[in-house]
A and B are shown apart, each in its own frame.
Chain A
């Protein structure tokens, strides 16, 4: 049924028809008609942010924790440019977002009008697709298509730029069904490739499943099938930072995260495997290390929806283009119908070898009763929150890696982190987005002091919307990850890597209108964490930790997997200058 209405009304109508319940946004001149419509309805909650970057990260947190697209509304010019970092973040991490921006009226475009920016030009390289809508009659169709593009195939952010006169003008509204998708995505999978994979899997002596964010993108059924396959066939599973939770950390085949700061056993198993099955991961440079030496003796299979991910970095022997959930379904079905065979004897030996690596206990650290070690803080956070309905977000830096190493995720969509772009300032707003979607859950942002300051204005949003997000700040008064690299690579010349003049986080919490506490004695840590969890509202816990702790294991840039740094040993000068050019 098509109806006449203004463009502004169409926006709200389309959001409603797309099942949107929450919009993160910030008003301004070029979106006033849309805000007027938002004022006159109750179906969609608008979360007023404090900075548009915050809005986009909130939408990312919302999207990653629900599997639904996140929606953002910003004004023209500075509103749109403030969204650029978040868009780039979502593009690199394949997060579905629909960002709506206001634009100067069509007749002012190109005149350097007030708050005019070439938004589609600026955001073209940081969106999956974007549109400037110049005709109200095309608005509804474009909006529905925006949702389709954001969520189909490899998900990603899209932007629709809507000039103010298009919002005021009347046109015909088309409901979603009428707007047929114009390029249907391929889902069909070559069944002979699946057969080849199953045959390889049945014979493999040292197989490994290397899973990534694609499994999370594919939805909970993909995670379930992954578990069925891994547990049924007895194959070890490792995951990238983005895929944590797809296979449970408590599962018997779990090796932990792989990559630069991944676990010893995970990286050595990747290096020594004879069959690598990549499910929805993209051979990122944090994973491969020196590419020429990456898992030199293995047959590599790669399942990915995006053909451009295949053979981009690592040449694979068996590419399968398709949704990882659909492909896993086929693998599991075929493997089951052929009698669920595995190379049992060889697998037994493989596991023995892996147990040997595990015995290294690579996450061991020297604890202290004087000062809180960050690893210990993570272990205590894990112990005191395990079993709860828990969601974790992070900022970027050492704390992010410690969280990935020491916290265990048993379900997908419980772990929100900025992996590809590594955006400091992601975690606090992301935690707000998650809490909006899961009001009753325990949502914790594991933060570093420096990152947290980057979007701390969003505490105001948390308080306004009574979102009891917990800010767990591992405060080393350093830009810790930068400092670590300077120590290992730049002769301990700590150039600009302090957090000088930090605010008093407890007073800051009070100033915002929530509660805060500081803890520095290891024996007070548990009580402090408990207080944070029990408090009925947003809470900032300032955890003063060891200032010069390094994050290990670490594969220095440009080194292969089997040349990993494990402990506190004298690591100075370990990274060659060749590796130093990589970041």
Chain B
């Protein structure tokens, strides 16, 4: 243990600087928020983001432990490092929030999203759509003579790319779940009871 080797004023900067887009670079972070599944908990988390002006790129939620009434909220957000720290600290203040994990800094993680894409068309375009779907390992979960519904799972960028390719081929509707994420390796954020 020794005294700080701090330079005077070296790190003195302000929230106003932080709002200056040039002062600091925004980063994308995926947060796993483990919450007590009580009424209104999602509203609290969303209200925090809107009330304090933070960004939400994607948000998913589901109960992951039915007996323990624990839900896992996965939020993809963006902000300067200081803002990301604030977001985590503010989430930690919410009473039913048990844990906040920043999967982006805690080590490598996997992110997956599920999408359903409806592509309507005939002739060559229909064949081309089917061919691309195969390349993306998308499943056909519904088909008519004039349409397909593809199901695809992957990183959000993969779904983006799939949508881009399908658009000229008659993409007419789509639904995406938002990101679910877990740390790689054997470290568990929310160890499953009995698991």
Given A296-B12, A306-B93, residue A311 in contact with residue B86 (CB < 8 A): yes
> Smallest CB-CB separation from B16: which chain A residue?
A291
Q: When the two chains form their complex, are residues B8 and A274 in contact, meaning their CB atoms are under 8 A apart?
A: yes
B98 at the interface (CB under 8 A from A): yes
Q: When the two chains form their complex, are residues B14 and A310 in contact, meaning their CB atoms are under 8 A apart?
A: no
> Smallest CB-CB separation from B51: which chain A residue?
A125
Which one of A195, A294, A307 has the highest number of Cβ atoms from chain B below 10 Å of its Cβ?
A307
Taking the closest CB of chain A, its distance from the CB of B40, in whole angstroms, is 6
Taking the closest CB of chain B, its distance from the CB of A134, in whole angstroms, is 9
Q: When the two chains form their complex, are residues A308 and B90 in contact, meaning their CB atoms are under 8 A apart?
A: yes
Taking the closest CB of chain B, its distance from the CB of A282, in whole angstroms, is 12
Given A308-B90, A311-B85, A312-B86, residue A196 in contact with residue B3 (CB < 8 A): yes
A136 at the interface (CB under 8 A from B): no
Q: Find A308's partner among B10, B14, B89, B96 (CB 8 Å cutoff).
A: B89
B15 at the interface (CB under 8 A from A): yes
Q: Which residues of B contact A383 (CB under 8 A)?
A: none
Taking the closest CB of chain B, its distance from the CB of A98, in whole angstroms, is 14
Assembled-state Cα–Cα distance A83/B70 (Å): 32
**Which of the candidate stretches A249-257, A297-305, A433-441 sits at the interface with the other chain?**
A297-305
Q: Find B15's partner among A183, A192, A312 (CB 8 Å cutoff).
A: A312
Taking the closest CB of chain B, its distance from the CB of A195, in whole angstroms, is 5
Q: When the two chains form their complex, are residues A124 and B6 in contact, meaning their CB atoms are under 8 A apart?
A: no
Within 8 A of B (CB), among A130-186: 132, 149, 154, 182-183
> Smallest CB-CB separation from A296: which chain B residue?
B9
Assembled-state Cα–Cα distance A12/B25 (Å): 54
Which one of A183, A297, A317 has the highest number of Cβ atoms from chain B below 10 Å of its Cβ?
A317
B11 at the interface (CB under 8 A from A): yes
Q: How many residues on chain B are close to A (CB under 8 Å)?
A: 33
B13 at the interface (CB under 8 A from A): yes
Q: When the two chains form their complex, are residues A313 and B15 in contact, meaning their CB atoms are under 8 A apart?
A: yes
A288 at the interface (CB under 8 A from B): yes
A519 at the interface (CB under 8 A from B): no
Chain B window 31-56, contacts with chain A (Cβ cutoff 8 Å), 1 for yes, 0 for no: 00000100110011001000100000
> Smallest CB-CB separation from A582: which chain B residue?
B16
Chain A window 279-294, contacts with chain B (Cβ cutoff 8 Å), 1 for yes, 0 for no: 0000000001011101
Assembled-state Cα–Cα distance A132/B44 (Å): 14
Within 8 A of B (CB), among A303-334: 306-308, 310-318
Q: Find B47's partner among A125, A203, A292, A316 (CB 8 Å cutoff).
A: A125
Given A317-B11, A318-B4, residue A124 in contact with residue B40 (CB < 8 A): yes
Assembled-state Cα–Cα distance A173/B63 (Å): 30
Assembled-state Cα–Cα distance A297/B95 (Å): 38
Taking the closest CB of chain B, its distance from the CB of A245, in whole angstroms, is 27
Assembled-state Cα–Cα distance A274/B14 (Å): 18
Within 8 A of B (CB), among A17-38: none
Q: When the two chains form their complex, are residues B40 and A120 in contact, meaning their CB atoms are under 8 A apart?
A: yes
Q: When the two chains form their complex, are residues A294 and B3 in contact, meaning their CB atoms are under 8 A apart?
A: no
Q: Which residues of A contact B51 (CB under 8 A)?
A: 125
Q: When the two chains form their complex, are residues B8 and A297 in contact, meaning their CB atoms are under 8 A apart?
A: yes
> Smallest CB-CB separation from A196: which chain B residue?
B4
> Smallest CB-CB separation from A299: which chain B residue?
B6
B1 at the interface (CB under 8 A from A): yes
Assembled-state Cα–Cα distance A158/B191 (Å): 31
A129 at the interface (CB under 8 A from B): yes
Given A149-B95, A200-B4, A308-B89, residue A295 in contact with residue B12 (CB < 8 A): yes
Q: When the two chains form their complex, are residues A315 and B4 in contact, meaning their CB atoms are under 8 A apart?
A: no
Q: When the two chains form their complex, are residues A307 and B92 in contact, meaning their CB atoms are under 8 A apart?
A: yes
Taking the closest CB of chain A, its distance from the CB of B77, in whole angstroms, is 15
Within 8 A of A (CB), among B55-78: none
Taking the closest CB of chain B, its distance from the CB of A333, in whole angstroms, is 16
Taking the closest CB of chain B, its distance from the CB of A537, in whole angstroms, is 43
Q: Which residues of A contact B11 (CB under 8 A)?
A: 315-317
B141 at the interface (CB under 8 A from A): no
> Smallest CB-CB separation from B98: which chain A residue?
A183
Assembled-state Cα–Cα distance A415/B16 (Å): 32
Q: When the two chains form their complex, are residues B95 and A128 in contact, meaning their CB atoms are under 8 A apart?
A: yes
A199 at the interface (CB under 8 A from B): yes
Within 8 A of B (CB), among A38-90: none
Q: When the two chains form their complex, are residues A294 and B15 in contact, meaning their CB atoms are under 8 A apart?
A: no
Q: When the two chains form their complex, are residues A183 and B14 in contact, meaning their CB atoms are under 8 A apart?
A: no
Assembled-state Cα–Cα distance A583/B46 (Å): 28
Assembled-state Cα–Cα distance A294/B11 (Å): 12
> Smallest CB-CB separation from B81: which chain A residue?
A311
Assembled-state Cα–Cα distance A297/B12 (Å): 9
Q: Which residues of B contact A295 (CB under 8 A)?
A: 9, 12
> Smallest CB-CB separation from B48: which chain A residue?
A125
Q: Which residues of B contact A314 (CB under 8 A)?
A: 12, 14-15
Taking the closest CB of chain B, its distance from the CB of A169, in whole angstroms, is 19
Assembled-state Cα–Cα distance A192/B10 (Å): 21
Q: When the two chains form their complex, are residues A132 and B39 in contact, meaning their CB atoms are under 8 A apart?
A: yes
Which one of A295, A314, A316 has the highest number of Cβ atoms from chain B below 10 Å of its Cβ?
A314
Assembled-state Cα–Cα distance A416/B94 (Å): 27
B17 at the interface (CB under 8 A from A): yes
Q: When the two chains form their complex, are residues B15 and A291 in contact, meaning their CB atoms are under 8 A apart?
A: yes
Q: When the two chains form their complex, are residues A308 and B93 in contact, meaning their CB atoms are under 8 A apart?
A: yes
B82 at the interface (CB under 8 A from A): yes
Q: Which residues of B contact A288 (CB under 8 A)?
A: 14
Q: Which residues of B contact A200 (CB under 8 A)?
A: 3-4
> Smallest CB-CB separation from B20: which chain A residue?
A292
A121 at the interface (CB under 8 A from B): yes
Assembled-state Cα–Cα distance A78/B168 (Å): 55
Q: When the two chains form their complex, are residues A298 and B9 in contact, meaning their CB atoms are under 8 A apart?
A: yes
Assembled-state Cα–Cα distance A168/B11 (Å): 58
> Smallest CB-CB separation from A202: which chain B residue?
B3
Assembled-state Cα–Cα distance A300/B14 (Å): 13
Q: Which residues of B contact A296 (CB under 8 A)?
A: 9, 12
Assembled-state Cα–Cα distance A298/B6 (Å): 10
Q: Which residues of A contact B89 (CB under 8 A)?
A: 306-308, 310, 312
Q: Find B82's partner among A121, A290, A300, A315 (CB 8 Å cutoff).
A: A315
Taking the closest CB of chain B, its distance from the CB of A341, in whole angstroms, is 13
Given A196-B3, A298-B9, residue A183 in contact with residue B95 (CB < 8 A): yes
Q: Can you list 8 A-B pairs with a CB-CB distance of less than 8 A?
A: A199-B3, A291-B13, A291-B16, A298-B8, A298-B9, A299-B4, A299-B6, A299-B8
Query: A291-B15, A318-B6 known; 20 other A-B pairs, CB under 8 Å?
Result: A124-B44, A125-B51, A129-B95, A182-B36, A195-B1, A196-B1, A199-B3, A199-B4, A200-B3, A292-B13, A298-B12, A299-B6, A308-B92, A310-B89, A311-B85, A311-B86, A315-B11, A315-B82, A316-B11, A317-B4
Closest 10 CB pairs of A and B: A291-B14, A308-B89, A199-B3, A129-B95, A307-B89, A317-B6, A192-B1, A313-B15, A315-B11, A196-B4
